[in-house]
Homo-oligomer: A and B are copies of this chain.
Amino acid sequence: MVSAPSGSPVLLQVHECDNVAIVANDGGLPAGSRLDHGLMLRETVPQGHKVALQDIAAGAPVVRYGVAIGAATEDIRAGDWVHEQRLRLPAAPSFSDLPVSTRTTSPPPLEGYTFRGYRNRDGSVGTRNILAVTTTVQCVAGVVEHAVGRIRSELLPRYPNVDDVVGLEHNYGCGIAIEAPGADIPIRTLRNISLNPNFGGEIMVLSLGCEKLQPVRLLKGIPIGHSGGATAMEGAEVLCLQDPAHGGFESMIASIMGSAEKHLARLDARQRETVPASELVVGVQCGGSDAFSGVTANPAVGFCTDLLVRAGATVLFSEVTEVRDGVAQLTARAASPQIAQAILRELAWYDSYLARGGAERSANTTPGNKAGGLSNIVEKAMGSIVKSGSTPITGVLAPGEKVCGRGLIFAATPASDFICGTLQLAAGMNLHVFTTGRGTPYNLSGVPVLKVSTRTELARRWHDLIDLDAGAIASGSATVEETGWALFRMLLQTASGARRTCAERLRLANSLVLFNPAPVT
């Protein structure tokens, strides 16, 4: 990196081969600014945007992260602003001739780290103790929302060891082509969310009765039982609004409240215990990215990913369109050729899913990405993929599947923040790390979400929404390693309940958003 005293022009170069660097200064830099190496800015360049470090002829590669992020559409001179109009998007990398399992050295273990969690009967560990109300269909959402409000205000105060009650509402369940290709994705997603470690194995399901997604189908493999008494619950309890026993709305609410109370009593009796850090299942994601994402927050998350994997934990990285251009990195890091194959299977499936709908990977970037300096999906992907750190990839999940192994897992999901988060919840994450450059109040109600900002200005301005600032990396006042360790420690504290996230304090939450590639009817 090119560093400079505070107030002076600061350019950030990620890789020694790069022929561009980004402007770090808040507010950008005016034309005429004198840079290191005798370079002078020929145009005013906004913060996060790229400056050519040398002349780049039309057609020659523009290199960032050591990777050609595009070809110059015109002759570019040293000191020019390399904006999106000056870059031609390369074709997506082919799936042939990829390096397979060539970078699979296991990192040294990291021992002795623990947190205080809720051990579940299936062996998983919760970081929170939450009663979740699973729903089969959107039809019951209004009733669930009402019931959850009543449970929260009337019952929860009597069960102080229970953190929250959440309704797992969604848009699926009826009016859908349930036998069409891909329909299994939203169904297993809902099923696996009900099994999330933070919900303590208390599977309380609300059904309408006539919906397409019947409880037995939603719960395939999970026995349907009764709420039971003080002893542990086996299987799932299903309440049905169309049950003839329900004499209208108040009777439905009374029935839900009665059932919730039994689940709450059992959840309340649980205690946190000391467990190894290997019980963490951390989903990493970015949203509202800018050109700093790949320089500050995401490398710090990547370093933390390595720490977690070395501690024996599980880390889920996702967002297919944001790793698609880095496919060679993924197959090289696949722990086995089978895992490389599984990665390619998921990427190819997504290519064809997009093509069927008349789209491709370049549909990913947003106006905000571009305003933040990310010219195209290749540049965005190179900055996104670094969240996965450097360890071998030991597993692959199709959308909605639940993780079983440990280590670094590629959980294939769309990059949409809410769909990715929902699928990582289904995969079994008990902690969530979310990096943002432009800023988003993103949160999920089932799992603590730590938000990491790419820029200090954002962290300062959104003081009550950002949990950790990685922006100091840009000014050189913190290193990637320091910030990664700070995040690692914050994750353990948060997992233990000793720290609540900003969004938990504000009780903010976004909706679950299911990935349904099949049609609606």
Contacts and interface: CB of A to CB of B under 8 A. Distances in A.
Interface of A: 138-143, 145-146, 169, 171, 174-182, 208-212, 214, 241-242, 244, 246-250, 252, 287-288, 321, 353-354, 356-359, 361, 363-364, 366-369, 371-372, 414-420, 438-443, 461-465, 503, 506-511, 513, 515, 517-521
A176 B358 CA distance: 12
Contacts of A142: 441-443, 503, 508-510
B461 A176 contact: no
A521 B364 contact: yes
Contact of A171 (B140, B176, B511): B511
12 contacts: A141-B510, A175-B414, A175-B415, A176-B363, A180-B357, A244-B461, A246-B462, A247-B462, A356-B356, A414-B521, A416-B520, A517-B519
B359 A180 contact: yes
Contacts of A463: 247-248
Contacts of A288: 139, 208, 210, 242
A210 B508 contact: no
B519 A246 contact: no
A363 B179 contact: yes
A521 B287 CA distance: 13
Nearest to A322: B521
Contacts of A250: 464
Nearest to A364: B521
Contacts of A367: 210-212, 214
Contacts of A244: 461
Contacts of A252: 441
Nearest to A208: B440
Main secondary structure of the interface of A (DSSP, over half): loop
Nearest to A289: B210
Contact of A354 (B177, B415, B461): B177
B146 A417 contact: no
A321 B521 contact: yes
A247 B419 CA distance: 28
Contact of A138 (B146, B363, B513): B513
B321 A139 contact: no
Contact of A174 (B181, B208, B242, B366): B366
A280 to B, nearest CB: 25
Given A180-B359, A517-B519, 18 more contacts: A139-B440, A139-B510, A141-B511, A171-B418, A171-B511, A175-B416, A179-B359, A208-B288, A210-B366, A210-B438, A244-B461, A248-B463, A248-B465, A249-B465, A356-B356, A364-B521, A415-B521, A416-B520
A214 B367 CA distance: 8
Contacts of A176: 363, 416
B418 A175 contact: yes
Contacts of A368: 208-211, 242
Contacts of A361: 521
Contacts of A143: 441, 508
A364 B503 CA distance: 40
Interface hub of A366, A418, A461 (most chain B Cβ within 10 A) = A366
A415 B357 CA distance: 21
Contact of A506 (B146, B212, B440): B146
Contacts of A366: 174, 210-212
A225 B124 CA distance: 53
B141 A520 contact: no
B169 A511 contact: yes
Contacts of A464: 248-250
A509 B169 CA distance: 12
Contact of A363 (B180, B357, B507, B515): B180
A321 B177 CA distance: 12
B177 A357 contact: yes
A161 B386 CA distance: 54
B211 A519 contact: no
Contacts of A441: 139-140, 142-143, 241, 249, 252
A153 to B, nearest CB: 13
Contacts of A210: 288, 366-369, 371-372, 438-440
Interface hub of A210, A419, A462, A506 (most chain B Cβ within 10 A) = A210
